[in-house]
Structure 1
């Protein structure tokens, strides 16, 4: 059980378990219920209004495993996972759980920090894999934390607006569901992707932590991952 990790960490942990237990299939179930946290606003916690307007309830699940067998049809392969904490960001996304419910105080600097640091985080994460000529050559699964966050990612990476349409669609339809949000975005992209195309999944968590995962969209006929990877780690939605 993992609590209060925001929108990161769960899939990376599942990847580690699958890699170290050949033949295992790891069920990742994420659920967030923010409706029960609605409370009357007060002057000391104005940010609570933002949380209640932006956040939504949601649940999603994926199955993660190594070395798919005949009959399994994973949607994506996880090639690598990394995590970075943006310096001096410990007070940027602060939540407090107490007897008077969950209080979230977003900072106005958060979109700016994401914009200024997202390219470095992604570049560092993908450097061991392969050179990328343009970020627009990849598909993008970005946590829909809010319109300002998605705008910051788009600006920081110089992305074509269409690259974040799946994330914006999930935000419009469901709001920010915290942990399950990237699963919803994955599912949206799963209907659109062609096989063997590289992409990146980005999650944001407390800290401010940026979780980056390199993906490859899969079809029934999949190529083997490069020899430097011990297993082919796959996600089934």
Structure 2
């Protein structure tokens, strides 16, 4: 059968979604086992790791914890697991297999808890999901967590799965970026984005080089349903995903990264990260807005709403300083940091959920809310994911 070029183009157009992709539902989850107050973390960490004799190191961690802006964090790791696996305390002992055995089961389960909430809010059956994008640094095995999650949720065997491994803190932003492209280029697609992280894979006794990471990271999972028009009855776009960009800051590979080794995953985080982000964040935003609205766009940063990955308090402070943001503009990010710490790629989903909640409360009080906003996530590379968001104006009562 012969097909003309025009027919081919029309066929391609008919396979695409209508308008920009949108966030249709959000769900979050944390392990139910261990919740640690940040004020008590250093004492507990040094006790369970049998390191109380390092008094100076413990006092240093207490000072770091005090400055983080974190109040509590959730962990799957507990003393029972540590008693069963004392090798987790010594980076020189082989422990990667034992760590992966645990997280291979628990990471998909945590993701399932978040995904069930998102699917329930969405209001359609899980079998209507056509694509799954799963981001985690907590697994080193195939078949991966994406297949396990698909089985747990009862997704169709034809669901198109993608696993993003070791993207770290920008994994959630990258997963949402990919979901946008999938939804807009596959008519009727509904993409489940799942991000799930358990820090057990990088737990170790304090040695002076890992204190910042020990003070920052926690466990959590986030899930988002993404789709483009036409929307089915009952589907309600929360955030339109107008445009997305990814930028890597040249020559910054040294500053932020992860290394898988026999004793688990090692993080390294250079003190220069907030400064490097501060030097590049505004240009990334300008590039994204120009891509969305044209070269002559004039953006006032304080006229936007903000969903920024809270990689740490100094990062939020630097972005606020560089963009001259009003104090409450990053409050959704700061609250997530206070309540959960940095959950790597999953954290941006928590920020979107918190932002959604705040915007709904403000709208219920009749306050005028920004229509346009920016989402940003940062990770190894240094990589910056930027997405321009727009809140659709729903008729009152819908």
TM-score band, normalised by shorter chain: 0.7 to 0.9
> Within 1, Cα distance between the matches of 2:235 and 2:350?
21
**Whose helix fraction is larger, Structure 1's or Structure 2's?**
2
User: Which of 345, 357, 370 is the aligned partner of 1:179?
Assistant: 345
User: Which of 116, 119, 129 is the aligned partner of 2:279?
Assistant: 116
Q: CA RMSD in A?
A: 1.6
Q: 1:5 to 1:36 in 2, by over 3 A?
A: closer
Aligned twin of 2:301 = 135
Aligned twin of 2:383 = 209
User: Which of 222, 229, 238 is the aligned partner of 1:60?
Assistant: 222
**Whose strand fraction is larger, Structure 1's or Structure 2's?**
1
- Deviation track 1:33-57 (CA, whole Å, cap 9, x = no partner) reads 01452201225xx1x2211110000
Aligned twin of 1:12 = 177
User: Which of 75, 93, 103 is the aligned partner of 2:266?
Assistant: 103
Q: TM-score, normalised by structure 1?
A: 0.88
Aligned twin of 1:30 = 195
> Within 2, Cα distance between the matches of 1:112 and 1:126?
23
> Within 2, Cα distance between the matches of 1:221 and 1:211?
32
Q: CA deviation at 1:221?
A: 4.1
Unaligned runs of 5+ in 1: 223-237
> Within 2, Cα distance between the matches of 1:218 and 1:57?
32
User: Which of 171, 180, 186 is the aligned partner of 1:21?
Assistant: 186
Contact 2:303 2:370 (8 Å CA) reproduced: no
Unaligned runs of 5+ in 2: 1-162, 364-368
Aligned twin of 2:317 = 151
Q: Which has the larger radius of gyration?
A: 2
Q: Secondary structure at the match of 2:285?
A: helix
Q: CA deviation at 1:155?
A: 1.1
User: Which of 187, 190, 198 is the aligned partner of 2:356?
Assistant: 190
